[in-house]
């Protein structure tokens, strides 16, 4: 009989073949064995309510039967072809119907890849090099994206701080860093550099921080003024905030958007979506060799991910789906707030009902530096107790899903109350 391995056993094995013993995504000592509906189980057999949901993709929960059926039907027909397939076209049509900025799309396999190509696309379209990014904004792992993502050293804007080794100094010179939610600063920055800027890339909800009223529209207006491509990174918010994403919810349409997570239904799939004249730079016949942006990927638009995404989006279109998702999130936000307030603990519930987090601070954060200066030690303790009490989540985000049950809410409420009480011991 084979020995049943514990999480510690698997971590010991992982350390010899994986740097740091992990995939680079999450606590490497945590190994998830199974997921079903709203729950996951680790290799020790412990059960959790899942508020990580794969870092966002599993909006319907794990193993949704209709998604499984769609995938099971596709698998015998083929898993990938490196050629067009009908499901990929159907999914592209649905994305273009749903997303305001999307005249056309181009598939890739990850959100970070989509962001990298979106920046390159803006440069191809404008013939300019500089990119405006907001401090604390996450846009994947490209050299540009790894500038001022999570700096521990605060410098004067618009200086960029690299967050990774291996990035050429020349990349820093092309990046202009701005504080999120600061209209006066972005106006002054573009007044000086606007004619050199190819793109403004922004998460409409920056990690968990909502845009101040009018801020996204200001970016739209300033981009128009200087001929800059406005990119909304909707890898997280797309098909989560609403069926048309954050751009639909906030009523501001970018030139280009990046999508991921939900559109693949749990499989690797992402996309760049945008105006037809900008997207034309992916078509050599349309723009010529000098302006053509070469892009390809072995698994881009693969049919398994496409059918999973199509079925996921079909479920999300059904009456009441987004009302339920938002109600689930609001209920969680209210529970967390009540538990912490009952103990007299200063906190802010930050974000949107579809994606939020607790920040231990006296005032609502407006930008990265506000969250950086919050009580992160208290947040670490709070999250550690939640994990002990059967809540599986990222250190800085809570993702509600449509799969949550009354038992999940009951367990979560008890966990919030236990964690809040622990903070005052």
- Tell me the catalytic residues: 138, 233, 261
Query: DSSP letters of 109-138?
Result: SSHHHHHHHHHHHHHHHH---EEEEETT--
Instruction: Give, in order, the Cα–Cα distances in Å from 132 to each of 3, 87, 144, 421.
Output: 54, 36, 10, 43
C-alpha to C-alpha distance for 266 and 54, rounded to whole angstroms: 8
Cβ contacts of 147 within 8 Å, gap of 6 or more: 133, 160, 161, 162, 163, 167, 171, 172, 175, 177
Cβ atoms of residues 306 and 91 within 8 Å: yes
CA distance 425 to 419: 10
C-alpha–C-alpha distance, residues 72 and 69, integer Å: 5
d(CA 94, CA 203): 22
Dihedral over Cα of 400, 52, 247, 302: its sign: negative
* Cα–Cα distance for residue pair 262/235, rounded to 1 Å: 8
């Amino acid at each position: 009989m084979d020995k049943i391995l514990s999480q510690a056993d698997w971590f010991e094995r992982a350390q010899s073949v994986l740097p740091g013993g992990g995939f680079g995504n999450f606590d490497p000592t945590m190994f998830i064995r199974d997921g079903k509906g709203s729950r996951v189980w680790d290799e020790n057999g412990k059960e959790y309510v899942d508020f990580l949901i794969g870092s966002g993709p599993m909006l319907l929960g794990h193993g949704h039967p209709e998604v499984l059926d769609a995938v099971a039907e596709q698998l015998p027909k083929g898993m990938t072809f490196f050629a067009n397939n009908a499901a990929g076209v159907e999914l592209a049509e649905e994305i273009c119907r749903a997303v305001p900025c999307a005249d056309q799309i181009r598939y890739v396999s990850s959100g970070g890849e989509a962001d990298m190509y979106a920046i390159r696309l803006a440069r191809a379209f404008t013939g300019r090099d500089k990119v405006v990014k907001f401090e604390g904004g996450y846009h994947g792992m490209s050299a540009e994206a790894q500038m001022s993502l999570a700096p521990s050293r605060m410098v004067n804007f618009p200086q960029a701080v690299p967050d990774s080794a291996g990035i050429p100094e020349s990349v820093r010179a092309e990046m202009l860093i701005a504080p999120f939610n600061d209209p006066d600063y972005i106006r002054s920055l573009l007044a000086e550099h606007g004619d050199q800027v190819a793109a403004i890339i922004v998460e409409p909800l920056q990690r968990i921080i909502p845009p101040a009223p009018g801020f996204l529209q200001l970016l739209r207006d300033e981009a128009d003024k200087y001929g800059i491509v406005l990119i909304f990174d909707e890898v997280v918010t797309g098909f989560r905030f609403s069926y048309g994403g954050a751009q639909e919810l906030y009523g501001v349409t970018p030139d280009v958007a990046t999508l991921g997570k939900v559109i693949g239904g749990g499989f690797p799939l992402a996309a760049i979506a945008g105006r037809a004249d900008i997207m034309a730079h992916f078509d050599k016949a349309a723009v010529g060799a000098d302006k053509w942006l070469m892009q390809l990927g072995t698994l881009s638009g693969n049919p398994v991910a496409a059918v999973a995404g199509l079925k996921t989006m079909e479920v999300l279109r059904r009456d009441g789906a987004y009302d339920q998702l938002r109600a689930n999130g609001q209920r969680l936000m209210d529970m967390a707030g009540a538990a912490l307030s009952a103990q007299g603990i200063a906190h802010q519930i930050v974000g949107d009902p579809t994606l939020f987090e607790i920040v231990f601070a006296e005032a609502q954060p407006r930008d990265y530096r506000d969250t950086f200066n919050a009580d992160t030690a208290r947040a670490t303790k709070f999250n550690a107790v939640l994990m002990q009490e059967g809540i599986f989540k990222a250190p800085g985000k809570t993702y509600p899903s449509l799969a949550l049950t009354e038992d999940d809410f009951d367990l979560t409420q008890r966990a919030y109350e236990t964690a809040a009480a622990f903070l005052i011991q």
